[in-house]
Chain A
Amino acid sequence: MAGHATSLKTYFTIWIALLIFTGLTVFAARIDLGVYNAAVALTIASVKATLVALFFMHIRGTSERLTKLVVVSALFFLFLLLGLSMSDYLTRAWH
Chain B
Amino acid sequence: MADSPIAVQGTSHQVHNPALLHHFAQPEQQRNAASLGMWWFLATEVMFFGGLFCSYLVYRLLYYPEFAACAKTLDWRLGATNTAVLICSSLTVVLAVWAASMARRTLLVVCLIATIILGFVFLGIKGKEYHDKFVEHHVPGPTFSFEKVPIPGHPGEYANPQRAQIYFALYFIMTGLHAIHMIIGIGIFTYLLIMAWKSRYTPKYYTPIEIGGLYWHFVDIIWIYLFPLLYLIDLHK
Q: List the count of A-B residue pairs having beta carbons below 8 Å apart.
A: 124
B235 touches A29 (CB 8 A): yes
Q: For A31, list chain B residues within 8 Å (CB).
A: 236
Contact B46 A74 (CB under 8 A): yes
Is there a chain A Cβ closer than 8 Å to B220's Cβ?
yes
Q: Are A32 and B57 in contact, with the CB atoms below 8 A? A: no
| Residue ID in chain B nearest A25 by CB atoms | B228
Which of B84, B218, B232 makes the CB contact (< 8 A) with A29? B232
Once the chains bind, are B57 and A41 in contact (CB under 8 Å)? Answer: no
The interface-forming segment of B9-17, B94-102, B128-136, B190-198 is B94-102
> Is B170 an interface position by the 8 A CB rule?
no
- Interface size, chain A (Cβ < 8 Å): 48
Interface residues on B, range: 35 or more
B103 within 8 A of A: no
Q: Is B8 an interface residue (CB 8 A)?
A: no
Chain A CB within 8 A of B138 CB = no
The verdict on A74 contacting B94 (CB below 8 Å), with A48-B224, A89-B61 known, is no
Tell me if A82 and B232 are in contact (CB < 8 A).
no
Binds A, one of B19-27, B48-56, B113-121: B48-56
The answer to whether A81 touches B234, judged by C-beta atoms less than 8 angstroms apart, is: no
Taking CB atoms, residues of chain A closer than 8 Å to B54 are 81-82, 85
* B57/A22 in contact, CB under 8 A: no
B169 at the interface (CB under 8 A from A): no
Interface membership of B154, Cβ < 8 A? no
- Which residues of A are found within 8 Å of B43, using beta-carbon distances? 70-71, 73-74
**Measured between alpha carbons, how far is A22 from B95 in the docked complex, in Å?**
21
Contact A53 B221 (CB under 8 A): yes
Mark interface residues in A43-67 (1 if CB within 8 Å of B CB, else 0).
Answer: 0110011001101110000000011
Are B46's CB and A75's CB within 8 A? Answer: yes
- Set of chain B residues within 8 Å of A44, measured between Cβ atoms: 228
Is there an interface contact between B57 and A70, defined as CB atoms closer than 8 Å? no
A22-B227, A53-B221, A56-B213 given. 4 additional CB < 8 A pairs? A19-B87, A22-B84, A45-B228, A81-B50
**Chain B residues at the A interface, C-beta cutoff of 8 Å:** 35-36, 39-40, 42-43, 46-47, 50-51, 53-54, 57-58, 61-62, 76, 80, 83-84, 87-88, 90-91, 93-95, 97-98, 101-102, 203, 213-214, 217-218, 220-221, 224-225, 227-229, 232-237
Chosen A-B contacts, 23 in total, with CB atoms closer than 8 Å, are A1-B203, A4-B102, A11-B94, A18-B90, A22-B80, A26-B76, A26-B232, A26-B235, A30-B235, A32-B236, A38-B233, A45-B227, A49-B225, A56-B213, A70-B39, A70-B40, A74-B47, A77-B47, A81-B50, A82-B53, A82-B54, A85-B54, A85-B57
